[in-house]
Each structure stands twice: as structure tokens, then as C-alpha cells.
Structure 1
Amino acid sequence: MDAATIAGLLADPARLKVVAALALGAGTIEEVSAAAGLPLKDVALAARRLARAGLVHRDGHSLALHTDRFGAAARAAAESAPPPQPLSPDPAEDAVLSAFVRDGRLMSIPAHHGKRRVVLEHLVRVFEPGVRYPEREVNALLAVWHGDVAALRRYLVDEGLLTREAGVYWRSGGWVDV
């Protein structure tokens, strides 16, 4: 079974609640009904559909979730996924960025100065050269990347990538694509 099929099955709220109740330890239709807050009829219908798909083993009123199938589908999806697009044409920079940036978000601010500089040079690109930004707008642009906007702002200024005067910021460093 593939991950897309599992996602489709779990898109139904009743089936999702049944799977959640089973994952949390319910073992009978009655226990699932109580844990999920669903009528017995809805649990029975959802369990039958999940059993036909191979995610649930049903033996009378007893139910068991085949958790191994979720992991197998996730692994298969990960193996068949296309490789991520590089964040930098430089392999060394890409390795640093790949370690700290996931899905367009900075997972943590690197403690090592060299790695932090690579990350800061990457994210300063959201600021257009020649444009003045009030602090509120700088915070909004940085919040897309990471929750600690004050630290990012401070690092960008300290590294000479942004300049600040009277609460207004502008880009003053980093590479610019021409």
C-alpha cells in the first residue's frame, strides 16, 4: 500500500478517529467508539473500509492496527521522492543550508560563525537592494524563516548584511544576482 492511498483513507474524519483510537490502545469496536466519540455503526463502517485496505485486522469485535504498514509506506514514499533541489550551486554551502533549512524554514540558527554566515547570506536575499524597510517589515520577512527575528536581525546587522538607522533597515551586503 502506498502513502497516497493511506492519506486518502485517513482523509475521512471517522476513519482518522478510528485509526487514532486504535493507535492509542483501543482494541474493540466498543472501545474505539468510546475513545473516538463515534457511534458504533460509524466505527464498524470505518473499520471495515480500513480492514479491506489492509490497515486494520478485524476479528469479530476486536480490532488491531497494522502500524508497520504506515512505516513501510512512508519509507517507500521517501525512496521514490525526487531529490531536493540544491539551495546553493556551491556544494559546501548547499551542505550547510541543507542541514539548517527545511521546507523554506530555518530550523535553528547555527552556532558556528562560518555556518551562520552561510545561512545569513542565504536569507538576506529576501531583502531587495536599495529598498528601505521599517523594522516591522523586517520582522515579518524574517518570521517566515524563523521565530527568533530579533536574533536574526542582530546577526544580519552584525555581519554587515543589513544596516540599521533610526528603525529603518536596508541591505548593505551579500551577493546580488545581476
Structure 2
Amino acid sequence: MSATAKSGGRATSAILSDASEILLALSNDRRLAIVNTVVTMNKESGAVRLAELARALELDVRSLSRDVMRLVEAGVLRREGDALIADIASLGRVGDSVVEMTALCQAIPPESPLRRYLAHGRIVDLPKRSEDLDVIARVLAGLLPEDQTLTEGEVNAILSHAGDDVARLRRLLADLGLVERSGSAEYRRPAAAPARAL
């Protein structure tokens, strides 16, 4: 079980809040330009003072300071005394945390060798070993509600959160008997058998 799953909804809410704050802070052309300039200036000469940043961007310090404060609050920039340093690694940390919240990452522990079939919490390739394929398929089947009839479109919508090739994923579930297909496009996941350990 992942750390996010262990820590519950409060941690999930905090992660989503952090991600939202960063995305909103960066959803402005001017703030993006500020971050880009701070990154460049950090590489060239280290920490940058607000006045230097204002000159580089040809902005007045007062209006610039509001945008800088928003970026500091979001954790994209940090202050060291009266100087600024870009913390781009914060974007990666929040991204990794959000990925861990995906259904597949919740079901497949970080230390599992099956993680190599995922990128950004989604299936990018299916295992060739039948044992691994069976485990991945059981995880996918777990995304579908038990004992409920779904249309092909509903199954596709659910599986689209797990990977791009939903037809292949849907066929895998049917081929392994993890979903029952009736008629031309109705699917049902029977009551689950005991899950195998990942």
C-alpha cells in the first residue's frame, strides 16, 4: 500500500491543494516569465535580488513583488534573505505525489517490479509473463464496480484512467475471465475472488 493510501484523505487533500496552488501560480504568462528569469539568473550568478529581477524583466518592483509573493507561497520560488532562488524540484515532488494517488499506483506498491509497466500512474506496456499479466489484469478489474452491468462506453471511460489502449485492456479482462461480456456491449465484473499479493 502506498504512503498516500496509508495516510488517508487528509494527505490526499493536501497533495491536491499543493498541486492546485502551484498550477494556479504558474497559470499566468508573467509569473512563468518570472520563474524562467529566476532560473536563468540562478544558473548564471546564484540567488537574485528583487531589484535585479525587476530590471531584467523591465517591471516595477512593487507590481513584481506581488507575483513573486504568489510564487513563494506556492513553493516555486524561495527567499534566502533578500534574494530569490527557484525551487523547480518542488514541481517534480508534487507531480510524483499526484501520480501516487492514481488508482494503479495505489494498488501496485512502489517497490513492486510491476511498476515498470507504468508511467505517470498509467499502463504504458503490458507484461509478457503470464503471472505479471494476471496481476495487472486483476488490478485493472478492481477499477470496475462489482456485480454491476456496464456499457462498453462506461468500461472504456473507467479503463481510460489506466491506459490509452482501452480496447486492449478491456479485451484482456474479458480474455482472462475477470469481466463477463454479454450481448454486444454489456460488461459485468463478478464478485471478486481473493486477490493475489503484489
TM-score norm. by structure 2 comes to 0.51
Which SS does the other structure have where 2:35 is aligned? helix
Q: Is contact 2:146–2:192 with CA below 8 Å preserved after alignment? A: no
Unaligned regions of 5+ residues in structure 1, if any?
34-38, 58-64
Q: Which letter maps to 1:111?
A: P
* Partners of 2:53 and 2:159 in 1: CA distance: 49
> 1:134, 1:52 → 2: CA distance?
50
> Which position in structure 2 is the counterpart of 1:40?
60
C-alpha deviation, 1:24, in angstroms: 5.3
Contact 1:87 1:97 in 2 (8 A): no
Residue 62 of structure 1 corresponds to: none
Counterpart among 123, 135, 139 of residue 140 in structure 2: 123
Give yes or no for the alignment of 1:132 onto 2:152: no
What percentage of aligned pairs have identical amino acids? 20
Q: Secondary structure at the match of 2:187?
A: strand
SS in 1 for 2:124: coil
TM-score when normalising by structure 1: 0.55
Distance 1:121 1:168 in 2: 19
Aligned-residue Cα RMSD (Å) equals 4.6
Q: Which has the higher contact order (CA 8 A, sep 6+)?
A: 2
Which residue of structure 1 lines up, in the alignment, with residue 158 of structure 2?
141
More displaced stretch, 132-141 vs 162-171 = 162-171
Amino acid at match of 1:19: V
Find the aligned partners of 2:81 and 2:91 in 1 and give their Cα distance: 14
Q: Aligned runs of 1:2-151 on 2, under 5 Å? A: 11=25, 17-23=33-39, 29-33=54-58, 39-42=59-62, 44-45=64-65, 53-54=79-80, 57=83, 66-67=85-86, 70-71=88-89, 87=107, 95-100=112-117, 105-113=121-129, 114-151=131-168
Deviations, residues 90-115 of structure 1 (Å, cap 9, x unaligned): x8x97145444577x32423232332
Aligned residue in 2 for 1:158? 175
Larger radius of gyration: 1
1:112 is paired with a residue of what secondary structure?
coil
> How many matched pairs?
148
1:29 Cα offset (Å): 3.2
Q: How has the CA–CA distance of structure 1 residues 109 and 116 changed in structure 2, closer, same or farther, with 3 Å as cutoff?
A: farther
